[in-house]
Amino acid sequence: NAGVTQTPKFQVLKTGQSMTLQCAQDMNHNSMYWYRQDPGMGLRLIYYSASEGTTDKGEVPNGYNVSRLNKREFSLRLESAAPSQTSVYFCASSGRQGALGYTFGSGTRLTVV
Amino acid sequence: GQQLNQSPQSMFIQEGEDVSMNCTSSSIFNTWLWYKQEPGEGPVLLIALYKAGELTSNGRLTAQFGITRKDSFLNISASIPSDVGIYFCAGLNYGGSQGNLIFGKGTKLSVKP
């Protein structure tokens, strides 16, 4: 099925470990996004990439880095995980500057202990 | 930054009842979107609204783009158990920089059979 694929679905990290969350879309969308979702906080934008080769900070970028590897793939890296980064992470993509809405992946549930 | 106030935060209703939820903002938007998130999944787009005053239906769901462009409403008629989930409103101003989809904090809907 066409859409946004995220890996892994679940991950447990120890404080200080690093990891990369992977995201790929097959809808030929120009723009891609990383959100985190915490209880009662809704969806908060971490980083986004308006087009291949560009990335920009969102609302909560501290502690994260991103790479837009090509048009299909947008990865999120935690260099030194902290318990405050325990969350559910969603990748999304959009075309036409988002006018038709964003398509979301099914999420990565990350726990940092 | 821009914020959306979504209410109510949660609802517990009986199967067959109608449901109303709304979003308000201090800023105007070009587009209002409504998403539903089921447990363990990413948000899925339900309805998109593009014009002030627009009323759009998707099955038992009806959403309206407020005339002031600062609010939107979602109604669900004759609720059923599979309506359970978190409903998010989102406002979008496209035409400028990306990353402008602003989410409300969600309305958690529980339906008792």
Enter the tokens of residue A20. Answer: 């990369």
Given CB atoms, is B85 within the 8 Å cutoff of chain A?
no
Nearest of B34, B58, B55, B57 to residue B44 by alpha carbon: B34
Q: CB-CB: which of B43, B92, B99 is closest to A48?
A: B99
pLDDT score of B45 more than 90:
yes
pLDDT digits (tens, 9 = 90+) for B1-39: 567 899 999 999 999 999 999 999 998 998 999 999 998
Mutate to test the interface with B, among A46, A55, A97, A106 (most CBs of B within 10 A): A97
Low-confidence ranges of chain A (pLDDT < 50): none
Mean residue pLDDT of chain B comes to 91
Q: CB-CB: which of B88, B98, B106 is closest to A98?
A: B98
Mean pLDDT computed over B49-73: 95
DSSP type of residue B80: -
**b/e for A47-78, b at 16 or more Cβ within 10 A?**
bbbbeeeebeebebbeebebebeebbbbbbeb
Alpha-carbon distance B84 to B86, whole Å?
7
Distance from CA of B47 to the nearest CA of A (A): 9
* Contact residues on chain B for A100, CB-CB shorter than 8 A: 48
| Contact criterion met (CB < 8 Å) for B48 and A97 | no
Mean pLDDT computed over B70-98: 88
Instruction: Please give the pLDDT value at position B105.
Output: 92
Q: Chain A residues within 8 A (CB-CB) of chain B?
A: 4, 31, 33, 40-43, 45, 48-50, 56, 58-59, 90, 92, 94, 96-107
Cis before B8? omega within 30: yes
